[in-house]
Amino acid sequence: MAVSFDEVAVGTELPAQSFPVSRATLVRYAGASGDFNPIHWNEKFAVGVGLPDVIAHGMFTMAEAVRVVTDWTGDPGAVVEYGVRFTRPVVVPNDEAGAVIEVSGKVAKLLDGRRVQVDLLVTSAGQKVLGMSRAVVQLG
């Protein structure tokens, strides 16, 4: 169901979601995105360049975070701007549990033209992994 501009106010919360990430997820994303950097699938290589373990692609995390917005609006085409800063890696251990990306969002500003700014909070293992994560959305 589409969200109407008239239904939202500054502070309106979007339904929060959790997204699991396993090594298999990262291999699949590498294939789909064409980013085959071994830090995203080869533990020996990742540790060799000073990382604690294999890490998720920043662009994968960015893709998960915006789902809180696109699931809210229904229409992914409603997103007119979207930006993030990659602050910390999402470390993905080689086990069945893997990692979890937790995303919540709220309306931060009402803008002209029935648009709103949504600020996202994106964490994994209790740490903020994306900074300045925000989207501008066109509502009906």
Partner 1 sequence: MALDPSFIGRTYPPTEPYEVGREKIREFAVAVGDPNPAYTEREAAKALGHPDVIAPPTFPFVLTYAAAAQVVEDPELGLDFSRVVHGDQKFAYTRPLRAGDRVRVEIAIDNIKSLAGNDVLTVRGEVVEESGEHVVTSIMTLVARAADEQADEKAGEQ
Token readout for 119 is: 């600020």
Token readout for 92 is: 């993905």
Nearer to partner 1, 8 or 58 (CB): 58
Q: How far is the CB of 48 from partner 1 (least distance, A)?
A: 12
Interface with partner 1 by CB under 8 A: which residues?
Answer: 19, 25, 28-29, 31-35, 58-60, 62-64, 66-67, 70-71, 74-77, 79-86, 132
Nearer to partner 1, 24 or 125 (CB): 24
Q: Is 32 left (phi over 0), alpha (psi -120 to 50) or beta?
A: alpha
Residues 6+ apart with CB under 8 A from 13: 104, 105, 106
Nearer to partner 1, 11 or 44 (CB): 44
Measured CA distances, 60 to 66, 116, 136 (Å): 10, 24, 20
Nearer to partner 1, 7 or 75 (CB): 75
Whole-angstrom distance, CA of residue 44 vs CA of residue 73: 41
